């Protein structure tokens, strides 16, 4: 059943550009899938281990600016198309390394102190990027897609290619989260979330597990941000470090249900679709309002999110 679901998901990802045909819907779908990856990345540390991370936008922006850095190193008309495929793992590597370093410095803190430290990280990284002229600095930088569409025999436009790339990243992120949740790593992180002191007394390698979760979370954030410069065409610090990414990365798992791989998926699909619908019908300024309103409703009505609400209705623990 699992493999059938996996193959179906991949089939839908590759078939969607040919079935939809409208680039507007593909761009909207790209944004929603991007939020699924962001929510999944946050959940690895914030949901499974209970360490609330307010610095999601920092890791996301680091992934995006890794792409910008490579773009500036290799001018557009001199770089082969296959370099696009190297930017995603490179962004994941850089953001994962940042997650590891951040974890080493902050994961001995707990509760609100850890959250404040991650928020400070976002401020520091924003300052670094704003003053780094090579990657555009405060004025930003324009990114043009290559003249050739990667895998042109499969895709008619670069928008289709980016959608499928983000779809594959989303499937991989969900598979990774599902594996972590059902492995000894997930059980160890759950023990940390429930009672870290008791878990350590029982022999759970708490620091190593937290560092693993922080590194993997940072890596997924970076991978989600890597295609952003090619998707938007112009990137600057205010948009890359936008509050929208930080708030949605936290709110979507909480609305869908933390500590489960399915919760961030449901929360991102619900909230992301609502935000995109509001953006094209009313105003993009409503995004944070919608997020805040839904978050308040779920905290009051269903504090364990959609997954918890469904379990409660079914009478299962």
Q: What is the DSSP string of 96-162?
A: HHHHHHHHHHHTTS-THHHHHHHHHHHHHHHHHHHT-GGGTGGG-EE-PPPSSPTTTTT-SSHHHHH
- Residue-level pLDDT at 90: 93
Q: Is residue 185 part of a domain?
A: yes
Tell me which DSSP letter residue 283 carries. Answer: -
Q: Is residue 271 part of a domain?
A: no
- Burial (0-12, 13-18, 19+ Cβ within 10 Å), 61: buried
Q: Is residue 113 part of a domain?
A: yes
- Residue-level pLDDT at 79: 62
Q: Is residue 196 part of a domain?
A: yes
- 102 — alpha (psi -120 to 50), left (phi > 0) or beta? alpha
How many domains in the chain?
1
- Residue-level pLDDT at 17: 77
- Residue-level pLDDT at 6: 67
Q: Is residue 286 part of a domain?
A: no
Q: Is residue 154 part of a domain?
A: yes
Could you read off the pLDDT tens digit of each residue along the chain, which spans 317 residues?
A: 656 766 777 778 777 777 777 788 888 899 999 999 999 999 999 999 989 899 899 999 999 999 999 888 876 545 666 777 788 999 999 999 999 999 999 988 888 888 899 989 999 999 999 998 888 888 888 887 776 677 666 777 888 888 899 999 999 999 999 999 999 999 999 999 988 888 888 888 989 999 999 999 999 999 999 999 988 888 999 989 988 898 889 889 988 888 888 889 998 998 888 888 877 777 666 777 777 777 788 777 777 878 877 777 776 65
| 96 Cβ neighbours under 8 A, 6+ residues apart | 215, 216, 218, 219, 222
Contact 88, 226 (CB under 8 A): yes
Contact 222, 62 (CB under 8 A): yes
Domain at 200, CATH number: 1.10.3470
pTM of the model: 0.92
How long a stretch of residues is the chain?
317
Q: How far apart are CA 114 and CA 50, in angstroms?
A: 11
Q: Is residue 261 part of a domain?
A: no
- Residue-level pLDDT at 302: 76
Choose among 214, 285, 242: nearest CA to 122.
Answer: 242
SS (H, E, C) 207-231: HHHHHHHHHHHHHHHHHHHCCHHHH
- Residue-level pLDDT at 127: 93
Domain coverage including residue 106: 2-246
Give the chain's end-to-end CA distance (angstroms, integer): 24
- Residue-level pLDDT at 306: 84
Q: Is residue 24 part of a domain?
A: yes
């Amino acid at each position: 059943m699992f493999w059938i679901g996996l193959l179906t998901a991949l089939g839908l990802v590759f078939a969607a550009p040919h079935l939809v045909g409208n680039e507007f819907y593909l761009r909207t779908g790209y944004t929603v899938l991007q939020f699924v990856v962001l929510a999944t990345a946050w959940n690895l540390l914030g949901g499974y281990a209970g360490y609330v991370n307010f610095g999601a936008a920092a890791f996301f922006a680091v992934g995006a600016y890794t792409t910008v850095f490579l773009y500036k190193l290799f001018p557009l008309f001199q770089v082969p198309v296959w370099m696009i495929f190297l930017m995603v793992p490179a962004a994941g590597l850089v953001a994962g390394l940042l997650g590891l370093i951040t974890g080493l410095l902050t994961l001995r803190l707990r509760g609100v102190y850890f959250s404040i430290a991650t928020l400070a990280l976002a401020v520091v990284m924003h300052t670094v990027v704003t003053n780094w002229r090579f990657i555009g600095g405060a004025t930003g930088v324009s990114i043009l897609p290559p003249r050739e569409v990667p895998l042109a025999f499969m895709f008619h436009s670069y928008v289709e290619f980016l959608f499928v790339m983000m779809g594959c990243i989303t499937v991989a992120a969900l598979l990774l989260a599902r594996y972590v949740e059902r492995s000894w790593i997930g059980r160890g992180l759950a023990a940390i979330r429930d009672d870290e002191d008791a878990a350590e007394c029982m022999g759970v390698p708490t620091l190593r597990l937290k560092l693993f979760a922080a590194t993997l979370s940072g890596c997924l954030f970076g991978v989600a941000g890597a295609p952003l410069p090619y998707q938007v065409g112009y990137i600057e610090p205010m948009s890359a470090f936008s509050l929208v990414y930080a708030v949605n990365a936290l709110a979507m798992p909480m609305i869908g249900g933390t500590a489960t791989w399915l919760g961030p998926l449901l929360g991102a699909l619900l909230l992301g679709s609502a935000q995109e619908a509001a953006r094209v019908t009313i105003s993009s300024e409503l995004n944070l309002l919608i997020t805040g309103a839904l978050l308040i409703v779920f905290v009051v009505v269903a504090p364990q999110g959609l997954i918890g609400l469904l379990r409660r209705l079914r009478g299962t623990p």
